[in-house]
Chain A
Amino acid sequence: MSASWEEIGDVFDEAAALSGAERARFLDERCGARADLRREVESLLEQDDTAGDYLTPPHAALTPIAAAPVQGAVIGEFRILHRLGTGGMGTVYVAEQVQPQRRVALKILPPLSDDPSARRRFAQEAELLARMNHPSIAQVFAAGVDGDTPFLAMELVEGALPVTEYVRRHELGWAASIALFRHVCAAVAHGHSKGVVHRDLKPGNVLVDAHGAPKVIDFGIARALDAVEGEGARMTRTGDLVGTLQYMSPEQAEGRVAEVDAQSDVHALGLILYEILCGRRAYSLEGKALTVALRTISEHSVPRARAARPGLPQEVDWILSKALEKDRARRYASVAELDADLERFLAHEPVLAGPPSRLYEARKFVRRHRIAVAALAAVFAALTIGLVVSLRERARAEKALVETATRTRQLEIETGRKDRILDFQRRLLTSASPDAEGYDVRVVDLLDLARSDLRLTPEEPEVALELHAALGEGYASLGRMEDALAERSAALGIARSVPDLDPVQTAGLERVVLRTRGELHTDPALVAEMRALVTRNAQQFGPSAPETARSHLALAQGLRLSGSLDEAEEHARTALASSGAEAKVADWALGELAAVLVERGNFQEAEEMARALLEQHRLRLGAEHTLTLFAQSKLVNVIRLTGASEEAEREARTIAEIHARRSGPDHVATLAAQIMLCSALIHIGRREEAIGIALNVSERARPQLQQGLHGLSLATNLAELMRECGRNEEAIALLERAQSQCIAAGIEDTPPALRASTALGAALAESLRFAEAEPIVRAALEAGEARLGPENRNVVAARHSLATVLMRTKRPALARDLLTTNLAIQRRVLGSQHDDTLSTLQSLAEALVATGALGEGESAIREALAARYARFGAEHPRTRHARYVLARLLYAAGRFVEAEMEMCELTSVSDPDPSKVSYLNFLAGTRLALERHLDALDAFRDAHATAARVLPPDSPAALDTALNLASQWRRLDQPDSVPPLLEPLQDACLASGGTEGARAKACRSMLLKSYDELGRTEDAARLREQIAAESP
């Protein structure tokens, strides 16, 4: 069997580091009887030893070797003084002209192309440029070609600053800024009147000189360049593209070149004005992937200027919006129009811009029906209807809004208001379906709007309280926890200041605030505060009151998340006992208790609990009630942990069917249930079925994925499912879409979005696209650390993900450091016995081994193993995996006897499953290392038998197991066992690929040798023919 590049490489690598007798010895050991391998390696080593600097890559010169014009050079009638700057369009110099005596800005363009018409076209363009004559446009004095080098001589703007910089430095007020800006508009309008579109307006091209006069430069340069390049070399002005990406119009971003005209300049001017007035760019594109950046430009609406600069008059906001309209039909038709409107504004005349279409409707609406809309927006968000709501038809939308608001106002004082708001909410929704067209109003914007209005006018305390609470609800459902906390805290503040407010309500708010805080930071002090609340409630309302029970549960959750499971259980049980008549609290209590039990590994009891809950609901509410289904799905989750996968699949199927029947195939709940079903199917090995359903779900889920946080978790879960199904590419596609939606909605820093980011990174890593995975996970980690703190659960998860990527890209030292950080955090917050802590410990052990710190690695893994053993017992998959890691470590350290012992234990008693196959293979490997060939054979045979039971026969693992067994038969001189084993697998080996068909090669090679040894000449000949026929 001829050696593969990888095989040769392995040996070559190690041998190259040795010399003389040592090398020879190593080769003896390593190559053994494989003469061909040894020959290859030795001949390569010989070349390597004597290579010297053969094929050394020449050192790349990093400075351009072109003879650039230097000081004193003369181009045309201009003498170069010094260089001013370089860009994608060419280099600019300060040069001297003799007649007339002056200094100019001389722009040297790229050499003319071979195309004969290039020279002529350049001349034409230059002439056009020279015709422009305006005080605020940098004049083009001359243009020409020196040899092959085209150049443009332009007005030199002395002491120039980009307009944004100028405004900042001189601290111009908005009125003065606008006046200055109007001169720029006049300049651009002049250019347009001469038929020249700038196409590249940005602050860098709008300079202001020392006297405060603005000058637009590089007007029309783009066209001159087009002329220069001609048809031949397509010069790529990507430098320009990049620089002006920030100032690109949507039609430019979408590549609709035919539509790039004067109106694109209007858009660019709008962005410049925005930046002048707000001190920041309209789009933040730094660090974004190009495709995301371009989408942001074409889809993301610009934040309102008044948000950045509160004192700005309303009309300016309107003008900006009209200049920045993505829809050209609604944008100012020309720069002159824009300028005119600015003039009117400055003269206190009414502006034409008028309010930006729908946002204005919403705004006006908020004014009139403040309370209602705030509640509306909050409920919008709470229902997670969508991140973006498009009010498609004005009349209908307005009518619905008015109607809703009027009714809602009436309902303010009535009880049961939330349910009825919900009802009208649904009505509104049917008239306002999410739609790509039309002006988009983000729910987040509505919330922000409502919030800012709330600040401006004091309301009656009760109402203000309601609003703050509702806003908090809204923000929470969008994952904007900090905003949610701010609102809820405000509500609490008000509640405390109102003398005769219902104390239960106040206590409830306190609880909610504590919980929100818990979402943001893992904080031991928080638990203490929760305890205090429980005590207070017990005193104030009685130990069995519903609110007291609720606070017990909040505390239980906090304790559970921080690892104090015993106490958590206590409190959950207390709540359960006292819940009495309040069904909701009882449910919550059972749920919490079950979660605690699961955390402790007490799966049996958790299952009993879940069953009890389910029964209760079935009896009381019926089999199809939402809460029953909810309880049922909880049961499914628990059953999966106890391993009763068949039942889990049955239950999951029932749930999915009921949801489908009740809410329709496209409802979020149905989709989620079907995902759960797929997961259960995979667990019992029915992968094909699962994949089929999953793909179907993926199709139907498409519209849902835009629907707020539910959509986001749906996308994340679906992606995980795809990964489990081996459909990694689909998972990646899903998560990438989800990510860009998060960005468009402005929630990319929230915990659910970070989870999705981390999942995306993991999926990319799975596809071995480490180069892409790494920045994503890093970004998620950084964002998480900044917003949520380094100890937050999601941040810890992201850190772990990054460590995984680092491990797989062979940077174990860095992975080790990250894991060490995580371990310290988890030990402190969760305790040394917590399952997550142990997982980290285990991964850390692997990293330590990879960095060669075998001793440390061993202690770590032994610690993890002992803890797992104590908690879960020997049979639990996690304990087994820990043992496996230990065995591998021992093997790596050459302690084969110990490794073999561990593997024996590992494989002695357990049900057959795919991991057992790997373990048995490895056990055989340890025995081979100890030269116990017969025992190794036993292990290989066991592995093969197990594989036959649990793996599909053509899966890579099963094939490798068979090949290992065949190899061992051959080693023991029993070729007769090989053909019956391998013959049926030939096709599968061929199909499986492997590294350049390694499996097929190995299979055939072993068959051939066996045939030869057994004297089966016909079979051997037939096989050789077959091989010959297949080779190219």
Chain B
Amino acid sequence: MTDPSHEVTLLLQRIAAGDRAAGDQLLPIVYAQLRALAKGHFRGPGDGAQTLQPTALVHEAFLKIFGERTPAFVDREHFLAVAASAMRTILVDHARARAAAKRGGYHARVPLDALLVPFEESACDVLALDDALGRLSKISAQAAQVVELRFFGGLEQTDVARVLGVSVSSIERDWRMARAWLRRELTTDEAGGVA
């Protein structure tokens, strides 16, 4: 068995070299880390007002693992890309669970609720967003990736361009279009017809 710290850095390196499978291997590790961190912020069942920005958590995870100075051959952006994906999964899973619990009548406040607050505050349904993103990825895989990286990972446009290996202008355009597209999809859904 390999030393875990060894493994992560090597996985990151492989991701940077374009190996998709490495991202899949890294995901559960990051996933667990994020959950642990989120739990760490939780003050207790009575903690009503606390809000947690997902992107902030992602960044914190990075700092926690690598310290304040990023070492030379650790690719921060690739880590954040994987974390963005993990974060999205966490949020979606949790939103689903909570919706189910609500239907059941009762739910006590649990640690991950804090992550969903920012979405609720801006009237954005995480599940619908996730669904729409899935549809978008069938039309343009890159555009969906851009949204995931920016919105869940908090990467800047130049970083996204680097991770995906395309130009910044391509990213800008994709972002803008994807945003318009998603908005259209999500408002159409709610209104039940063409808005």
Contacts and interface: CB of A to CB of B under 8 A. Distances in A.
A complexed with B: yes
Given A65-B60, A66-B40, A88 B143 contact: no
A86 interface: yes
B32 A293 contact: no
A243 B66 CA distance: 10
Nearest to A53: B122
Question: For chain A, which range describes its interface: under 10, 10 to 19, 20 to 34, or 35 or more residues?
Answer: 35 or more
Contacts of B4: 234-237
Contacts of B150: 57
A810 B169 contact: yes
Contacts of A44: 177, 180-181, 184
A257 B1 contact: yes
B8 interface: yes
B139 A5 contact: yes
Contacts of B63: 64
Given A48-B176, A238-B65, A242-B71, A61 B5 contact: no
B177 A289 contact: no
Contact of B64 (A64, A287, A293): A64
Contact of B184 (A47, A240, A769): A47
B29 to A, nearest CB: 5
Contacts of A47: 179-181, 183-184
Chain B interface SS verdict (over half): helix
A51 B180 contact: yes
Interface string A400-432: 000000000000000000000000000000000
Contacts of B165: 768-771
A509 B24 CA distance: 62
Contacts of A55: 124, 147, 151, 179, 182-183
A62 interface: yes
A60 B9 contact: no
Given A5-B139, A57-B55, A810 B167 contact: yes
Interface string A760-791: 00000000111110000000000000000000
B4 to A, nearest CB: 5
Nearest to B152: A57
B8 to A, nearest CB: 4
Interface string B140-167: 1001000100110010000000100101
B5 A237 contact: yes
A315 to B, nearest CB: 35
Nearest to B194: A43
A111 B40 contact: yes
Contacts of B54: 58
Nearest to B14: A291
Contacts of B184: 43-44, 47
A743 interface: no
Given A60-B154, A88-B66, A289-B73, A5 B140 contact: yes
Interface centre among A113, A234, A772 (most CB of B within 10 A): A234
Nearest to A257: B3
A749 B64 CA distance: 37
Interface stretch (A6-14, A322-330, A597-605, A685-693): A6-14
A45 interface: yes
A772 B65 CA distance: 25
B190 interface: no
Contacts of B162: 771
Given A51-B183, A810-B167, A60 B56 contact: yes
B1, B36, B53, B147 interface centre (most CB from chain A within 10 Å): B36
Given A5-B140, A293-B73, A238 B8 contact: yes
A985 interface: no
A87 interface: yes
A233 interface: yes
A897 interface: no
A993 interface: no
B36 A61 contact: no
B56 A61 contact: yes
Contacts of A290: 9-10, 13, 73
B24 to A, nearest CB: 15
Contacts of B140: 5
B102 interface: no
B85 interface: no
B33 A236 contact: yes
A952 interface: no
A286 interface: yes
B53 A60 contact: yes
B9 A242 contact: yes
B73 A241 contact: no
A912 interface: no
Contacts of A797: none
Contacts of B173: 9, 12-13
A809 interface: yes
Interface of A: 5, 8-9, 12-13, 16, 43-48, 51, 54-55, 57-62, 64-66, 86-88, 110-111, 113, 232-243, 252, 255, 257, 286-291, 293, 768-772, 809-810
Given A238-B5, A286-B72, A810-B167, 12 more contacts: A5-B143, A44-B180, A57-B55, A58-B55, A61-B60, A238-B66, A239-B67, A257-B2, A287-B72, A291-B13, A771-B16, A809-B167
Interface of B: 1-10, 13, 16-18, 29, 32-33, 35-37, 40-41, 52-56, 58-60, 63-68, 71-74, 118, 124, 139-140, 143, 147, 150-151, 154, 162, 165, 167-169, 173-174, 176-177, 179-184
19 contacts: A8-B177, A48-B179, A55-B151, A57-B55, A58-B55, A61-B55, A66-B37, A66-B41, A88-B5, A88-B66, A235-B65, A237-B5, A238-B66, A239-B71, A241-B6, A242-B73, A291-B13, A769-B165, A810-B168
Closest 3 CB pairs of A and B: A242-B71, A47-B180, A60-B154
